[in-house]
Amino acid sequence: MRSIFLFLCGLQLLWAQAPGVTPQWEVSLFRGNVLPHTPDLYHLQGHPEGVMLAYNWQTHGSKEWHRTYDNPNYGMYLLYQDFNNRFLGHSWAVGGQFQFFFLNRHLRLTTAAGVAYMNQPYDKVTNSKNKAFGSPLLANINLGLHYQIPLFRSPWTMQAGFLFTHYSNGRTKSPNSGINSYGLNLGLTYSSPKSAEKTIDTSVKDTLNYRQKLHYNVVVRTGVNESSVINSGQYPFLHLGAYVDKRLNRKSGLQLGVDVFLTQSLKDFIRYKSAAFPEDQIDPDTDYRRVGLFAGYEWYINRLSFEAQVGYYVYDRLQNDIPLYDRIGLKYYWTPKVYSSLSLKTHLFLAEAIEWGIGIRL
């Protein structure tokens, strides 16, 4: 109850600070299934159910990016989820979200990301069956696709559709197989009857040409992670990147570059493997450094953008993981040349690190 109270108080404060938009309240119910992506997670299957509260701002074109994306919504959410599984327990998640509309605003795509608290993480003695997450604090990502219709001429709207949820700690602590769930979602949205002032931002013309020349980027990413060996210890890492990007238009840009990975937990893992599995004939002095080439895509909203990258290790002496890696993340441009980032690096479904980064674009 305290979490809900603080969440609602925060929304009230934000309501007063968002001029030129229409506030919306949303409540929805969710029920579905756990989606096991590795064989050792089948015992964690169940039928999770939960409730989501959200507060959104409906835009009306007062900013250039509002009109570019057909007046999307943005806001905050609070998600409670009971996994109906004795090893997983339940979770609380809070974060931010965007809602984009299609088919005359009847079809709604929701993307959301935040942090979650799990009440039953892995414990060697009391909960050794939970191989999904080894820490109580996790990252949460949600994707929703809903069809919505207004209820007569009232400020209420009903929506129904599908919701996908993902929880992972990015292997900041092992184990970390993560948990995915999918299911049906049904909810109601209340829009404030007070209309927002529909002022138009004329500081940026809609016809502005966003196509740019090549830009050179240098980015430094860091954080802590643990190898796949449980309780082997958390170590800092340093991931260095250099790439060129080409912005094609208002929404899209392409990237091509190189990564250098200095992951200390991998160095410790090499020592462990050489001692624990002598039959593998791993030299304890095997180089832990890795180098990868990657291609990426960047989706621009306003100062915020989403990026996705796929890379291939051209130098990896240990070859413990598959040679392909991928990264998804968020970037925020403080200036046209300086940005910060938050990303998740994985090998397909297996997370390796949550990366905090700072970059320069020249």
Residue 17 confidence (pLDDT) above 70: no
Q: How far is CA 246 from each of CA 254, 261, 278, 299, rounded to the nearest angstrom?
A: 5, 24, 48, 12
Mean pLDDT of 204-221: 82
Q: Which of 80, 81, 88 is nearest to 43 (CA)?
A: 88
Of all residues in the chain, the percent with pLDDT exceeding 90 is 76
Q: Which of 203, 154, 192 is nearest to 57 (CA)?
A: 192
Name the residue ranges covered by the structural domains of the chain: 21-191, 215-361
Please give the pLDDT value at position 7.
Answer: 43
CATH topology (fold) of 215-361:
Porin (2.40.160)
Return the half-sphere exposure (C-beta side, CA atoms, 13 A cut-off) of residue 205.
4
Q: Which of 198, 252, 201, 196 is nearest to 64 (CA)?
A: 201
CB 56 within 8 A of CB 71: no
Q: H or E segment at 66?
A: helix 64-68
Please give the pLDDT value at position 209.
Answer: 73
Q: Kindly report whether the global pTM for this prediction surpasses the value 0.95.
A: no
Q: What is the DSSP string of 126-192?
A: TBTT--S-SSSEEEEEEEEEEEEEE-TTSSEEEEEEEEEEEEE-TTSSS----EEEEEEEEEEEEE-
Question: Which of these ranges, 30-34, 37-41, 121-125, 246-250, has the smallest mean pLDDT?
Answer: 37-41
Taking the C-alpha atoms of residue 179 and residue 29, their distance in angstroms, rounded to an integer, is 19
Please provide residue 171's backbone torsions phi and psi, each rounded to the nearest 5 degrees: 55, 35
Please give the pLDDT value at position 12.
Answer: 43
Return the half-sphere exposure (C-beta side, CA atoms, 13 A cut-off) of residue 208.
12
Q: What band does 15 get if pLDDT is binned at 50, 70 and 90?
A: very low
Residue 299, C-beta contacts closer than 8 angstroms, at least 6 positions apart:
251, 252, 305, 306, 307
Residue 11, SS3? helix
For 234-246, how does the pLDDT look when each residue is reduced to its tens digit (9 = 90+)?
999 999 999 999 9
For 56-69, how does the pLDDT look when each residue is reduced to its tens digit (9 = 90+)?
999 988 888 999 99
Q: What band does 43 get if pLDDT is binned at 50, 70 and 90?
A: confident
Q: Which two tokens stand for residue 291?
A: 């180098």
Residue 344, C-beta contacts closer than 8 angstroms, at least 6 positions apart:
139, 168, 170, 327, 328, 329, 351, 353, 354, 355
Residue 10 confidence (pLDDT) above 60: no
Please give the pLDDT value at position 9.
Answer: 45
Options 3.30.390.50, 2.70.70.10, 2.40.160.20, 2.30.40.10; which CATH number does 21-191 get? 2.40.160.20
Q: What band does 6 get if pLDDT is binned at 50, 70 and 90?
A: very low
Amino acid letter, 314: V
Please give the pLDDT value at position 220.
Answer: 98
Residue 330 confidence (pLDDT) above 80: yes
351: number of Cβ within 10 Å: 20
Q: What is the mean pLDDT of the chain?
A: 89
Please give the pLDDT value at position 46.
Answer: 87
Residue 227, SS3? coil
CB 141 within 8 A of CB 112: yes
For 283-319, how does the pLDDT look when each residue is reduced to its tens digit (9 = 90+)?
999 999 999 999 999 999 999 999 999 999 999 999 9
Please give the pLDDT value at position 300.
Answer: 96
CB 32 within 8 A of CB 83: no
Q: What band does 201 get if pLDDT is binned at 50, 70 and 90?
A: low
Is 215-361 in the same CATH topology as 21-191? Answer: yes
Question: Which of these ranges, 11-25, 195-209, 316-330, has the smallest mean pLDDT?
Answer: 195-209
Please give the pLDDT value at position 50.
Answer: 95
Taking the C-alpha atoms of residue 333 and residue 341, their distance in angstroms, rounded to an integer, is 9
Please give the pLDDT value at position 55.
Answer: 96
Mean pLDDT of 117-127: 93
Q: Which two tokens stand for residue 240?
A: 């260095």
CB 351 within 8 A of CB 168: yes
